[in-house]
Amino acid sequence: MSSTGGEIQASPYKALLALFCLWILQCVVKVIYRLYFHPLARFPGPKLAAASFLYEGYYDVIKRGKYVHRIEEMHGQYGPIIRINPQELHVYDPTFYDSVYSGSGKWEKPSYHVHSIDQGVSAFGTVDHDHHRLRRGALNKFYSKQKVNALQHVIQNLANKLCDKLEPYCNTGTPIDFEGAFGDFTLDAIAEYTIDSNMGLLERDGFDGDLRKTFRGLGEVGHIAKIFPWVMTFLNSLPKWLLLAANPNIKVLLDWDDTCLRIAHHLLRTNPDETKEHPTVLREIIADPDLGASEKTPKRLMFEAKTLLNAGTGTVAWTLTTAIWYLTANPDIRARLRAEILTVMPDPRKPVKFQELEQLPYFTAVLKESLRLGYGATLRSARAAPDRALQYKDWTIPPGTPVSITISHMHHNPDVFPDPMRFNPERWLGDPEERHRLERSFVPFSRGTRNCLGSNLAWCELYIMVSQCVLRMDLEPFETTLEHVEMYSDMIVSEPKRWKEGPRFLVKSVINY
């Protein structure tokens, strides 16, 4: 009896041991397949990267967003095309960019890239080409240059409000977190544009780094979710109080969820013919006849709005912060820019249309250089051609293979941009042929059918906000260096080495006209 009982008690442990052994065997077989029999097995790169996503996870999760730099090192060792994980190829060659991001035919996103940001519910996170085209089509018209031009008064009012809030800090010796200040501006702008609900951040007292912490925290989760796709689903299933207990910095994101969901419910109950001061993105989606009922549920509208808020806040705020840093660090550039803006806008209290500002060649050069070095989104965004092979030199890339080219590698390439880490607007003022050569490698908003939806809005915000800052006040960096500005880590948004302190500035004087 005792012997039989012992066998009965031991059987669960034997079963667990057998399952563990099967799992180990499965892992071994998978690694052998990836290294020797996978369609990408012949492409160069580290064997560890080809064997497991954990190699990428080590650099992005453990070492905090450093895989972008490791990839560049790998290119130096293995050549211009390498295998960077079990499924994906990476190319270090600006001439191949358009073949991946602007080529004709169907293009899809790999699901593991979607998991790092989204759950496949928004247009940005949609994997399938045709489904993405349907969702994106409902948004494209609203983010057209014509629509942005018609609504630029919203941006101008918010820019004036931010400057009015900054001016009382003049000669107080109080440093201002400008990434936080610009985050308040961009979030209020994109919220009013998207959901017709100003977040009121510019109305509150002071500025803080909540948004900076929030977006870097989102990057931490995104890197984990790329390796372990179930993470986002699991986190979204947890109660709000538990998430806040684990990480109080995500409160702003959870508040966005609540606000977007509440507004989605409200708009679905509202008469679509009701007159509003200006149209918004969610209203356009609800009114679009090409979208079925499943595309207009409160949850999907909430995800679409939330994704647009995420994408349009930290990215533009970081480019604005970068621009102000380089302008304050280079007084000659700032003086020349101010003189040029004054030719069309002698009084910043009487602003001109942003179409006039974008005709100023030096201003445009300054903003391009700010975007080249201060690109907001740093995430590696791969594309896959599901129905055809791609050809890169002597390499045939199998159909369905994710291929990526990183923005920072494009913008920092010394063969295209000599002395690439130097802020030099003059590089954009050369002859037309040289400018065209630079433009081919200038991709802050990506290209093609999956490019940045809000690029026109971003340009409008940059022209209006920078012109107001340059004309209305003199700023001075406060304990801020390049280590507070240059990209050190890829946390989906750019993260400098000393990101926790944030780039801070003093308002030294207010300029009267």
Which residue, chain included where needed, has tokens 């002698």?
346
Would you tell me how many other CB atoms lie within 10 Å of the CB of residue 20?
10
**404 contacts 381 by C-beta, under 8 angstroms:** yes
SS3 of residue 134 by DSSP: helix
The residue to which tokens 């994704």 are assigned: 307
Q: How far apart are CA 462 and CA 323, in angstroms?
A: 9
Is 260 marked as a binding-site residue?
no
The Cα–Cα gap between 425 and 367 comes to 8
The one-character DSSP state at 450 is T
Q: Write out the DSSP string of 87-128.
A: S-EEE--GGGHHHHHS-SS--B--HHHHHTT--S-SSTT--S
Q: How would DSSP label each residue in 154-192?
A: HHHHHHHHHHHHHGGGTTS---EEHHHHHHHHHHHHHHH
Q: Edge-to-edge, what's the strand order for the sheet holding 403-404?
A: 81-83, 89-91, 403-404
Is the Cβ–Cβ distance between 226 and 233 less than 8 Å?
no
Position of tokens 């102000």?
A: 324
Binding residues for heme: 452
Binding residues: 452
